[in-house]
Structure formats: structure tokens, C-alpha cells
Structure 1
């Protein structure tokens, strides 16, 4: 929805100003009003959708987009193979983003340290967490910078496995950038999905997810940036860069929407929220601002065992931290503040030189920061246990005191509902009993997470088997199926294979439950016995 106004932020003031200007112009020549209206409408429909919509509107549009894309998932013949090739893209289509939580979270963004600052702790999305959540590794290469050449129609046709003439006929420009209407790509994906042309369908389907969900820009339009990022399949640094750049710009402007992959940012944040029943149920019907302000560092889910063997990208090139390039600018982020999220202790305030804040907008880079960012990514420096020491995700008093002081200076966006309990300074290593308790809690969370993943895989198998049953039994002579020779036998083999895989998964699932029960619960009972 667009409002006639020079500000285009849907505000009443801008609307009234526009009317006043039009009234003034009508005193001279009524034709001027028509000219101005034409120019305003033209401008309105050429600016990015996310630039003139509320966060609620963007999430509503995201939901409608995901519904369209979910309709294409029935053509994914091998969900596990799809996940192995392209990552955990399908779960993003079913993620229900909570608009209240995201708008509240944005209020906690700290523009000095490029993180979320709370009364006595800090949180920030990391490359390693994003990589795990989306299931795509970070390649040891320079990520997307926007300096890459624009692919030709032939190169795009080869990438998508479709006819070059179709590419030329449907390539359009919107807001000064080339791309494709999503209707065209959806129609092509549907065509190749029905024809069981797996390569063409998957390329089109994944590009749609990249252009509409991972890197949204214009409504129902997949732009050339998304195409270039998709062509190298190294989206994680750009995804994180977009999140930080958007949050930083929103903070600088005092409002606006978050222009990034919202489902991924949402999944990251809720992974750190308390997993208790009381917090999830929220029987007191508290607002998100009250719920977040009441949290202390003891309430947060800090660490996941999946990061036990991960090497952390600690800094790049000349920078003391990590320079991120998004589609709309660049910004530095500080992995040293996220040590606890990856299993290492936070002992003291980091040196200021390690927290250097760098930021630029696309097209506004007089210092040539983009070129420096690109050079820096040619020299990636990683750290692991060898450099960071043993795993121990705790925060000591010197660090916590610094965070509290920062919160007092920066001022929290909401009132504090209760005083934050002071942490007693303790040793750098937790007592053995507490370590064992934490290890047991980690194992429990890992088991629950593995159980949910297995259940999701079983659901995907059930959906595919139901689809194949229709192909084999109900409609063996389907027009699209007949495009392939001996398609009935093909579908029968596919059905039998998936049915066997599902049975094997269920058996493995039951064995895993029995193994975990016998290994965990006796130990737990023994630890509680006097």
C-alpha cells in the first residue's frame, strides 16, 4: 500500500504536507497538480517495497510469499537430497515470524558495539550460528560484494537450465536494477516441477527463495543481486551483513523496517530465549518488552553443542574484527563479544581496538571501505580451542560489570521490571557438579532438537509418499507424468524407496530413544541419590 506523500512513510504529517503543496500548486495551474501526482506515483512504485511499508506489512507480505513458495514444495522429489545440496531452506518457508518480538528486539540494538545490549548481557548473531541455522557452510572466499560482473542472458539460462530466449523476454528493470518478476519464475518452476525436470525446477525454486525470502528487495521481484549470490552458493556472510546493516540504518533513522531475511534473524534470536514452559506459555500475558527486560544472563540459552568443533572466524585482513558486506552496504561485527554463544568464557571487557565500528551505505562510500572489505576477506583468520582455551560458556564479573555500565550509559529502551541480581565473581571454571549438570542439560536439549528434526523428516517423507501414492495409484496416466518413459514404474520405484527410507528412519528413531533413555536416566537418578 502506498500513500501519496513526499515522505512516503505512511505518516499523517507527510500526507497533510502533500495536500498543502498540491493546493498551493493548484493556485497557479491545475495541470501542475496532475504532473506532480504522476511523478509521485511513478516514484512510489519504483522504490523498494521494504522502504515504504511497516514491519507488520512486510511480515504479512512475507507470509503470502511463503504460502506461494510452499505450494512448490510438492515438486521436491528428494527432500533430504535437496537439504544436502541447498541447506535448510524449506523450514524458512514455514517459520512464523512474530512481529511484536522483532520490533521489540530492534529497540535493543547497540549502534556503538553492533550488538543487542540488554541490562546485564549482550547477544549478537554470528556467522557460525547463521551457517548452522541455514545449513550452508561459509566458503573460504570473498563473499558477494556487488562488484561482480552482471551475468549475461546465456549465463542465467545455463544457471537455471531454461531457454535463453525466455530469459531475454522476461528480464526487466525495477528501481534501477535488473531481475525477473516472481510470477514468471513461479510459472517456470511449476512447469518444470510437473515435468519432473529436477535440475531446472530446483534451480528456479531455490532462486525464488533467495530472491524473495533470503534477500528481499522489491515486492514480487527477484533482482540481479539475488541471482549473483545464488550462482556461488555462499550466502551466509551476505545474510548476516544485511541483518546488521538494516538494524544499524533503522537505529540511525529512528525507525523503519528490518530489510533482511527476517525468518533467519527470528530463528536465531528465539534459539537463545529461555526454553522453560513458564516463559513459553507467558500466562501473565506480558508484552515482549516486559519479557525481554526481565531476562538476565542466567536465563539465556547460551550454547549449543553443535559448535563444539567449529572454527570461529575471528577477524579478516587489516581489521581487528570481521567486516561484513551486505546488499545495501557494509558493517563490522565483533565476534569477540559472542564468545559465550560459541562455548567460550567472557572474562573481561574487550580492548576498544578490537571493537572498531565501521559502517557505510551502498553508494555512499567516500573512504573506499568496500574495496578494503573485499581485500580483508582474502585473508580470513580463524580460532578454535587451541587459541581460545577449553570450552566454558560463562561470564565473569569484570565483563558483566562492563555490560551493566554500558546499559546504564546507553539507556535501555524500556523500564526494568525488576532489579538485576548481582553475579558473584567466581573462578574461571565452574564446579565439577555444575559442569555435569550443564552437560546433562545440553544433552537433553540436543536430544529434543534431534527428535524434532527426525519428526520433521518423517513428516516430509509422509508428504512425499502421499504425493507419490496419488501418482502411482490414482492418476498413473497423468499428462505431465507421461512425459517420461515408463513413468508408472519410475513412480513405483520412487514410492518404494521412500517408504523403505521412512521405515528405516522410524526404526532408527526408536533405537535412538531407547539408547538415550537407558544411558541418561539411570545416571540422572544416580546423581540425585544421597
Structure 2
């Protein structure tokens, strides 16, 4: 089933070829004579959420539920298997150029782009010309969680916590919901919310932040999360 789905989406190699051709034709974006000023040392916290529980839940699902996840979320699951090389990550951060928001290697600049990230995510439901933007009148965190989980107001309200300057919900509460929810569609949705909250937009260990719920609540409308992911990547690298 997994192969059946992946055969219907664009191959990553096609995007890589396009990227290399464009780089060769148009050249680098660095201004002529620009000399990058990079830090000699960058301190980065490599603390991560444990993803073992997500992996174990996935292994317990049958092919039908897994296919439902792939059709809705594309290759999102494969983020659970990415091995973060701490030394490589720190080395890359040394070459991040905040003035141009790109990696600078001598006279060459490189950066992650929308097309590449879209190909990596590989989801047929994404409409690439329909980017996520925060609505002017957004629902409260309580209402968004109710929409996503289809749980009662009392259940959700009892589990919302204040963490620093924002509200969040414990991953443990979401995990229990995935294991017990009678609606298979909701199990898949909450599982995907866990990946977005613990892996892509991780803010507080063991918690899913309210900002993640705002984006996730809009994904059913076909919006692409890729620009938001890239912005968070750039913001994090600039913070480093």
C-alpha cells in the first residue's frame, strides 16, 4: 500500500535536478564582494523529545490505518526515523548566514526551498499555492483542540496547561487519546498532531504548543505547511 501511494507523487530526484539546474543557470544570490562573517563557535541545545511511543503506536496499526495516514499526511511519518547527527548539525550551524538566511560555503550559498521540502513531505492533499496564514479571528486553543480531537469541552479544558508564555497540552494526554479514541480518523489526526508538535514545531519537551494546533486545524483545508516549516527553520537557525 505504501508503495502504491508513493508511486503517485513526484520523485525527490526530480526536485533535486531542478534545484541544481536553477543554481547553475542563475548563480548564487550573494552580492559581489560580500564576505561572510560567521561565528567561531555556536552553542546549540540538542535536547529532543522521545519518539519511541509514536513509533510503537505506528507498529501496532494495521495496513488500512497506515494507508489512511499516508493519504492524509504524506511522508510525515519518516521524520520519526531521521537520525540527528549532533556534530554535523553544529557544523552546519557554523555556516548559517543570518544576513542572507542561507548556508554560506566560501562563495556558494545554499538554502532549503519550498519545492524541496514539498517533495520531501510528499502529500497529495497539499495545495502548493494555498499557504498557511494565521487567520485574523482565530478560535481559542480550547475550540481548536475540540475540533481536532472531537472531545468534549470539559475533557479538553481539564488538560490544557500553561507553559511559559503559551498554552499547551501534554503529549501523554494525546497518546492516551490515540489509544482509546473510537474514531479511527481521529486517531490518525491526533497521531499526526503529535509529530507536528513533538518533532517539527517542538517548543516545550513533552508538550504540544497551541501555535501548532492553529496550523494543524487548517491542514484539512488543503493548505501547505511547508512555508511555515521553512520559516521556523530559518528562525531557529537565526536564534542559534
Scaled by the length of structure 2, the TM-score of the pair is: 0.72
| 1:98 Cα offset (Å) | 0.7
1:202 maps to which residue? 188
Structure 1 residue matching 2:75: 3-state secondary structure = coil
Say whether residues 1:149 and 2:138 are aligned partners.
yes
2:76 maps to which residue? 89
- The structure 2 residue matched to 1:131, chosen from 109, 118, 126, is 118
Structure 1 gap segments, 5+ residues each: 1-52, 251-530
| 1:235 Cα offset (Å) | 1.5
2:52 maps to which residue? 67
* Closer/same/farther in 2, CA of residues 175 and 83 from structure 1, 3 Å limit: same
- The structure 1 residue matched to 2:228, chosen from 227, 234, 238, is 238
* Closer/same/farther in 2, CA of residues 158 and 228 from structure 1, 3 Å limit: same
Looking at structure 2, the residues matched to 114 and 154 of structure 1 have their Cα atoms a distance apart, in angstroms, of 36
| 1:154 Cα offset (Å) | 4.2
Structure 1 residue matching 2:67: 3-state secondary structure = helix
The superposition leaves residues 379-426 of structure 1 with CA deviations (integer Å, 9 ceiling, x where unpaired) of xxxxxxxxxxxxxxxxxxxxxxxxxxxxxxxxxxxxxxxxxxxxxxxx
Structure 2 residue matching 1:162: 3-state secondary structure = coil
CA contact (8 A) 1:214 1:239 kept: yes
1:164 maps to which residue? 153
Structure 2 gap segments, 5+ residues each: 1-42
The superposition leaves residues 324-374 of structure 1 with CA deviations (integer Å, 9 ceiling, x where unpaired) of xxxxxxxxxxxxxxxxxxxxxxxxxxxxxxxxxxxxxxxxxxxxxxxxxxx
Structure 2 residue matching 1:227: 3-state secondary structure = helix
* Closer/same/farther in 2, CA of residues 148 and 228 from structure 1, 3 Å limit: farther
* Closer/same/farther in 2, CA of residues 168 and 101 from structure 1, 3 Å limit: same
CA contact (8 A) 2:161 2:168 kept: yes
Looking at structure 2, the residues matched to 128 and 163 of structure 1 have their Cα atoms a distance apart, in angstroms, of 39
Matches within 5 A, 1:311-460: none
2:214 maps to which residue? 228
Say whether residues 1:99 and 2:89 are aligned partners.
no
Structure 2 residue matching 1:212: 3-state secondary structure = helix
2:45 maps to which residue? 55
CA contact (8 A) 1:55 1:103 kept: no
* Closer/same/farther in 2, CA of residues 199 and 164 from structure 1, 3 Å limit: farther
Looking at structure 1, the residues matched to 200 and 176 of structure 2 have their Cα atoms a distance apart, in angstroms, of 20
* Closer/same/farther in 2, CA of residues 168 and 132 from structure 1, 3 Å limit: same
The superposition leaves residues 146-170 of structure 1 with CA deviations (integer Å, 9 ceiling, x where unpaired) of 8552436344223212233211111
1:389 maps to which residue? none
CA contact (8 A) 1:161 1:203 kept: no
CA contact (8 A) 2:159 2:173 kept: yes
CA contact (8 A) 1:138 1:237 kept: no
* Closer/same/farther in 2, CA of residues 133 and 154 from structure 1, 3 Å limit: same
CA contact (8 A) 1:146 1:225 kept: no
Larger radius of gyration: 1
Looking at structure 2, the residues matched to 118 and 155 of structure 1 have their Cα atoms a distance apart, in angstroms, of 43
1:183 maps to which residue? 172
CA contact (8 A) 2:134 2:215 kept: no
- The structure 1 residue matched to 2:98, chosen from 93, 101, 111, is 111
The superposition leaves residues 299-327 of structure 1 with CA deviations (integer Å, 9 ceiling, x where unpaired) of xxxxxxxxxxxxxxxxxxxxxxxxxxxxx
The superposition leaves residues 77-125 of structure 1 with CA deviations (integer Å, 9 ceiling, x where unpaired) of 4323311211211111111111111110111112222211112422110
CA contact (8 A) 1:87 1:135 kept: yes
* Closer/same/farther in 2, CA of residues 245 and 152 from structure 1, 3 Å limit: closer
Aligned residues: 190
CA contact (8 A) 1:143 1:235 kept: yes
Tell me the C-alpha RMSD between the 2 structures: 2.2
